[in-house]
Amino acid sequence: MLPSTRSFAALLSRSVAGVAGDQTPPVLSHTPIERATALEDLTFEASATDNVGVASVTVYYRTPGATGYSGLAMSLVSGSAYEATLDGAFVTTAGLEYYVEARDAAGNFARSADTTTPHDVRVVETPTDLSRARTFPNPWMGDPSEPMCFGGLPPDEGMTVEVYDRSGRKVQEITVGRGITVTPNGNEACWAGNTMAGRPVASGVYHMVIRSRFGTRVIRATVIR
């Protein structure tokens, strides 16, 4: 049954009064980004909750030395998790400063850093060797929808990644076009935790042997199922 005009007005009045009397700011959680690669898209993540409701979560960013900040609205992706991606064109070796702000309908706000003491991101050039190669997440929890990926890889069309178990047996080989994508800013590679026969690997420690024209690098990674 629909509420009467009078009861609806009373409900609306109480709602407005509740917002107007709200003096509790949102609760904001964010892990600062310390490093990024030049010209690569940069994703910001945060968690925000409020006793009445979160109205907005925004990333404010600028190049160090700039007089003002630009705003980038964060989208609610699930529960209290918010996310926004900054186009790589704004990620330059000049660096990046930013802060995150969550607001509720009453205008209360919470920030991670602020305009005068922002988070400072060190932006590095496209990798030219394997010194910054890494895997993430590590340990990997075995979810094939979120594979173990490699970061800090230089661009190389001949790169391969061989996966060995603790006994020294090769269980998988990732190549360009089959797990590795070549981009101008560096190779992108992921492993879904399966063998060459397509079966999931067991929990344990694995050695990732990256071979490229830049040399060879071995990274130890852990799988937990």
- Look up residue 121 and give its DSSP letter: E
- 137 compared with 8, residue with greater pLDDT: 137
Return the CATH superfamily for domain 24-124: Immunoglobulins (2.60.40.10)
Note the pLDDT of residue 37.
83
Residue type, 14: R
Predicted confidence band at 7 (pLDDT cuts at 50, 70, 90)? low
CATH topology assigned to domain 134-223: Immunoglobulin-like (2.60.40)
Handedness of CA 75, 125, 115, 68 (dihedral sign): negative
- 69 compared with 36, residue with greater pLDDT: 69
Task: Please check the confidence at residue 1 and state whether its pLDDT lies above 80.
Answer: no
Predicted confidence band at 4 (pLDDT cuts at 50, 70, 90)? low
Element (H, E) at 191: strand 188-191
Q: Residue 84 to residues 79, 80, 111, 143, 146: CA-CA distances in angstroms?
A: 15, 14, 16, 23, 18
Strand 179-181 with 119-124, pairing:
unpaired
Q: In this prediction, what percent of the chain has a pLDDT beyond 70?
A: 91
Note the pLDDT of residue 88.
87
Q: Residue 146 to residues 30, 75, 180, 193: CA-CA distances in angstroms?
A: 21, 20, 16, 10
The pLDDT mean for the chain works out to: 90
- 18 compared with 189, residue with greater pLDDT: 189
How far is the C-alpha of 218 from the C-alpha of 130, rounded, in Å? 10
What is the token pair recorded at 225? 């199922």
User: What proportions of the chain, in percent to the nearest 5, are helix, strand and coil?
Assistant: 10, 45, 45
Handedness of CA 35, 82, 84, 56 (dihedral sign): negative
CB 191 within 8 A of CB 148: yes
Residue type, 103: R
Predicted confidence band at 12 (pLDDT cuts at 50, 70, 90)? very low
- Domain assignments of the chain as residue spans, ordered by start: 24-124, 134-223
Task: Please check the confidence at residue 10 and state whether its pLDDT lies above 80.
Answer: no
Predicted confidence band at 6 (pLDDT cuts at 50, 70, 90)? low
Note the pLDDT of residue 11.
43
